[in-house]
Structure 1
Amino acid sequence: MTSERFDAVIVGAGFAGIGAAIQFKRMGIDDFVILDREDDLGGTWYVNHYPGLAVDVPTTTYSYFFEPNPNWSRLFATGDEIKQYCDDVADKYDVRRHIRFGVTVEGARWDDDAKLWRVGLADGTTLSARYLVTATGFLSQPRMPEIPGITEFAGRVIHTTAWDDSYDPGGERIAVIGTGATAVQLIPELAKTAGELTVYQRTPIWVAPKLDVRISERTKRVFARMPWTQRIIRAITDNIYETMINVGVVHYRVPFFRRLNISAMDLCKINQFIQVRDKDLRRRLTPDYDIGCKRPTFSNSYFRTFTKPHVHLQSDGIDHVTADGIVNTDGTKTVIDTLVLATGFDLWEANFPAIEVIGRDGRNLGKWWRENRFQAYQGVSMPSFPNYLSLASPYAFLGLNFFNTMEYQMRLMDRLFGELRHRGATTFEVTEQANTAYLDRMTELLGDSLWTLGNCASSRSYYFNPHGEPSLLRPMSTQDAITEASTFPLSDYSFV
């Protein structure tokens, strides 16, 4: 049953959904609703609240380009501060009143006769909208490890995406499965009070020194009174990260740039050597893939944690889990009280797309992607899906900073809806030809990148889809992506 109709439905109330909402308001579209399954906004910054949570890019860069925040306490702000920033932006731009929390979207189907999207909810109701935007993020579906016996464990099991704030690790025997970016932040925190901490590592991670500094109250006042000073700092940090991505990853074919990539790995090894003097432990903590194949991270305490007598690195693998512990592949058993799953997110199977989307002529987006390669024109549009923008799509993500991705997507929305209004049209849809040409160009650009030419086979990176293609990332600079979003040929879309 159709209960309500809107100009637009946005699925997801994280930074992407809020950015899309702000852009709709700028374009004069105020009749929209944001649907989110959680009970508060913020997306991954609301769901995640494990000990040690912090942003892993400088907060001078990690913000909307149009809304600098002068109140960060340090260069790498905590999760609480990021969540507060999200709240503040939503309130400033009057987005919160559009959000409905605790609403699970099961799917959406294009009604070609009515030229509307029918959005089905878990409670059985259906909303109708002229435009559909899915802003479900790349990190929204937690991945549970498939380990024999894991459901038989009788102790406490905590996934980092559902952290129990009442949990006290003091004196406990804890096992952590996973050594990705989340674990790098969490493990040093657990080690402070745990009785015994065993870390199960399948794939080591590159960890660079973290040049974190506290931002003084005087500096905050300067940022607040003269926002241009903060924009200068952002330009510096943006350019540093852009250089890292473009020189060390995107243009990897250039021999000199490959040398710089090696230098980055050397920096990580120096960081490790300073903290860990045991040669065998360093060997086990050192990746055998190139830096950039999967997301690297920053820490000044991660490696040092493994030198503590009560912290143990288990890198030989897990055979199975029992009611009271973990049996290792060598036959030894580790008895534990609590099992912590830092196993990340299921990007490709559960997130592309996060809901079932059925377009024109019954085209199922998930099935189409899996049968015809993962693809999206400008990282947002697919043929046979009119009036639909998917903000977490193949070739959407830029470098290390999500807000750069959001910036070009907002520019694209402005150009696309501006043309829609100019023509007096009601629907837009990317053409098959434009989409194919874009996919071919992305494939060609990736041919020069680290993800194609580098040693990535053992990285187990979520950058790569199930077919082995690094199609999560957009292989270009932020400025190039913004320029394309502002100047793409309008003939690449059909308007009706």
Structure 2
Amino acid sequence: MDMHDAVIVGAGFGGMGAAIQLKRLGIDDLVILEREDDLGGTWHVNHYPGLAVDIPSSTYSYSFEPNPHWTRLFAPGKELKAYAEHVAERYDLRRHMVFGTSVSAAVWDEDAQRWHVSTSDGSVHSGRWLFTATGFLSQPRLPEIAGIESFAGRLVHTADWDDSADLTGERVAVIGTGATAVQLVPELARVAEHLTVFQRTPIWVAPKPDYPVPSVARRVFAALPLTQRLVRWGGSALLEALMVGGVLHYKNLSAFNRAAELMCRAHLARQVRDPELRRRLTPSYSFGCKRPTFSNEWFPTLARPDVTLETEPIARVDERGLVTADGRRTDVDTLVLATGFNLWDVNFPAFEVLGREGRNLGKWWRDHRFQAYEGVTVPGFPNLVSLNSPYSYSGLSYFTTIESQMKHVERLFTGMRERGATVFEVTQEANDEFLERMTDRVADTVFALGSCEGAHSYYFNQHGEATLLRPTSTLNALREAGRFPLDAYDYA
């Protein structure tokens, strides 16, 4: 058995953030287990054409490790991957990483007061503390369409893109119109003979202020970090207004929501002249029920004569293509699944986690509602920090979530050490109070007061509850991460 102080599952930005915080606390005996063959999480797995960050690059990085070298306001995927490699090098993380290792289960050993983490190759890694950083978007969703396994052409999911595939002159179909499709479809339309996009749910799309960052600006950012911090602050303020003002504080700030929706409607009207196509591309749900995105190319691409937007439901797939519910068929050479990720059925958690007395975390969440104190810890699961949990995602930038969790870990571990303890467990009372507070605040959001029927949003779990996002401002999340009462935990 491989023994460590801490075991971290996942080598994406969340897992690396946890490792950086542990090393700051003097905990260097740790292992980072990663199922893929390299670090970077979603920015290693995803490499489809058009991949880019969907919020301003300045906000999508650790605040303590700014990157002055972004070439665009919305950086392409390759630059995010390079940034991940830079962070790993800067903080000496690679030596802790074990790649090609898929975790199958984690079990709390009450006698040893340790977590035993089993992998698919039969090995076991034991750690006093366990950090799960498997990401929110790590389990690809495959559509349940009759006959899809019989398709004889090329079938590819965007999370498993074949870089060698040449789609030039092909008949291509894409299933899905989420944020991934918004980036991918314009690229495919440039090379395909004909492209058919199958839409179940339209998406709110805002104008994308995506411009190259001049080299002189990059030099200024490198020489004067304060200038980049100011840019970051401005981008964060915009995201805060959109997400927190217009979505989470919908009851009191619904004007923000209406303004965002009007902006998206105006963007659609400017780019699509055909009223029938505009109608089909206009969501019926309130802005914010489903994650919106930015694009200047999505609507013009769908208006092209060699691109078809298909809104009739898919009845089945056969060896030649797709057949819609009204009996029409679309024969294609390549079928692309831009169907996103499965959060609530095979994630939360991404593998079996057994706590005290064999309590199964996945079953407990589904039987007793999805919940986690401050989005990181769960009663009955000592020494477990779950970085991808209900009510943990704060704002639109994942790095806000990561850094608030890092602050929580710093305060928790410092308090544990001051008590001479090595084991922590959140109390049931603290957990229940937090859950009640979050539930009350969700009642003020667009998820409760808006019209979200038909959004098909991953923000909602299978019980219809919006438990993914923390329904507070990002400033509140950061503040509480550094101030939560230490007696919210029991120590031993």
Q: TM-score, length-normalised on structure 1?
A: 0.99
User: How far, CA to CA, are the matches of 1:363 and 1:48 in structure 2?
Assistant: 34
Give CA deviations for 1:435-460 in whole Å, capped at 9, x if unaligned: 01110000001111111111001100
Aligned to 1:237: 235
Deviation (angstroms), 1:153: 0.4
Aligned to 1:191: 189
Deviation (angstroms), 1:260: 2.5
What SS class does the counterpart of residue 350 from structure 1 fall into? coil
User: How far, CA to CA, are the matches of 1:247 and 1:23 in structure 2?
Assistant: 30
Matched, 1:394 2:390: yes
Aligned to 2:327: 331
What SS class does the counterpart of residue 335 from structure 2 fall into? strand
Matches within 5 A, 1:61-460: 61-254=59-252, 257-460=253-456
Aligned to 2:35: 37
**Alignment size in residue pairs:** 492
8 A contact 2:172–2:335 mirrored in 1: yes
1:405 alignment partner AA: T
Deviation (angstroms), 1:228: 0.9
What CA RMSD, in Å, does the superposition of the two structures yield over aligned residues?
A: 0.7
User: How far, CA to CA, are the matches of 1:117 and 1:377 in structure 2?
Assistant: 20
Deviation (angstroms), 1:360: 0.5
Aligned to 2:467: 471
User: How far, CA to CA, are the matches of 1:226 and 1:259 in structure 2?
Assistant: 37
Moved over 4 A (4+): none
User: How far, CA to CA, are the matches of 1:329 and 1:313 in structure 2?
Assistant: 15
8 A contact 2:61–2:399 mirrored in 1: yes
User: How far, CA to CA, are the matches of 1:382 and 1:456 in structure 2?
Assistant: 29
User: How far, CA to CA, are the matches of 2:452 and 2:395 in structure 1?
Assistant: 17
User: How far, CA to CA, are the matches of 2:333 and 2:213 in structure 1?
Assistant: 39
User: How far, CA to CA, are the matches of 2:302 and 2:73 in structure 1?
Assistant: 26
Deviation (angstroms), 1:296: 0.2
What SS class does the counterpart of residue 139 from structure 1 fall into? coil
Give CA deviations for 1:325-369 in whole Å, capped at 9, x if unaligned: 111111111110000000000001111100100000111000000
User: How far, CA to CA, are the matches of 1:325 and 1:461 in structure 2?
Assistant: 27
User: How far, CA to CA, are the matches of 2:303 and 2:231 in structure 1?
Assistant: 36
Aligned mate of 1:24, from 22, 25, 38: 22
Structure 2 stretches of 5 or more lacking a match?
none
User: How far, CA to CA, are the matches of 1:49 and 1:92 in structure 2?
Assistant: 24
User: How far, CA to CA, are the matches of 1:28 and 1:298 in structure 2?
Assistant: 41
1:474 alignment partner AA: R
User: How far, CA to CA, are the matches of 1:431 and 1:33 in structure 2?
Assistant: 28
Deviation (angstroms), 1:264: 1.1
Give CA deviations for 1:236-291 in whole Å, capped at 9, x if unaligned: 1111111222210111112xx21331221111111111111111011001100011
Give CA deviations for 1:391-428 in whole Å, capped at 9, x if unaligned: 00000001211000011000000000001111110100
User: How far, CA to CA, are the matches of 1:471 and 1:318 in structure 2?
Assistant: 30
8 A contact 2:242–2:260 mirrored in 1: no
User: How far, CA to CA, are the matches of 1:47 and 1:476 in structure 2?
Assistant: 31
Identity of aligned residues (%): 59
Structure 1 stretches of 5 or more lacking a match?
none
